[in-house]
Amino acid sequence: MHNAPPLPAGSHLLLLGDDGLLAARLLQAGMVVSLYHHDIAAAQAASLAAGLPVRVCRLEQLSTPVPFAAAWLEPAHFSVEKALPHLPALLKPGASLYLLRPTPLPTLPPGWRQIDEQHLIRLP
């Protein structure tokens, strides 16, 4: 996992495309985790690994009544370029987006600041 600062127990976190291993660690740390995939087979495998239901949908279909405190995205499963315009509606202002692997970043749309090759911040 990227060197994310500690989050308080009970933080609501969004994981996009995780294999379930990070989700399991975050659950053990007392976090509330929502894990999504766009592929049924990958979602089933992640669900088994994490021990929690994994939702299957396209990113633009996601909504949440409570904004997420942070998000992790697997670039092999979700396009960073396509995700960035949709994530501000899902994340709290100032929330971090961590990429699970280094990836070339597109030109950032308004509302984002790059910290490093795997860490972006949603601007307030």
pLDDT tens track of the chain, all 124 residues?
556 678 899 999 999 999 999 999 999 999 999 999 888 898 899 999 998 888 888 888 888 999 999 999 999 888 899 899 999 999 999 999 999 998 888 889 999 999 988 999 998 8
Q: Which pLDDT score is estimated for 38?
A: 83
Could you tell me the sign of the dihedral formed by the alpha carbons of 41, 46, 51, 52, in that order? negative
Could you give the CA distance from residue 48 to residue 65 in angstroms, rounded to a whole number?
26
Question: In this predicted structure, what is the pLDDT of residue 124?
Answer: 84
Map out the domains of the chain as residue ranges: 12-122
Q: Are 73 and 101 in contact (CB under 8 A)?
A: no
Instruction: Please tell me the class of the 12-122 domain.
Output: alpha beta
Q: What is the pLDDT of residue 2?
A: 55
DSSP string, the chain: ---PPP--TT-EEEEES--SHHHHHHHHTT-EEEEEESSHHHHHHHHHHHTS--EE--GGG---SS-EEEEEE-TTTS-HHHHTTTGGGTEEEEEEEEESS-----PPPTTEEEEETTEEEE--
pLDDT of res. 39: 86
| pLDDT value of position 3 | 62
In sequence order, what are the residues at sequence separation of 6 or more whose Cβ sits closer than 8 angstroms to the Cβ of residue 118? Answer: 2, 98, 99, 100, 101, 102, 103
The reported pLDDT for the residue numbered 59 is 84
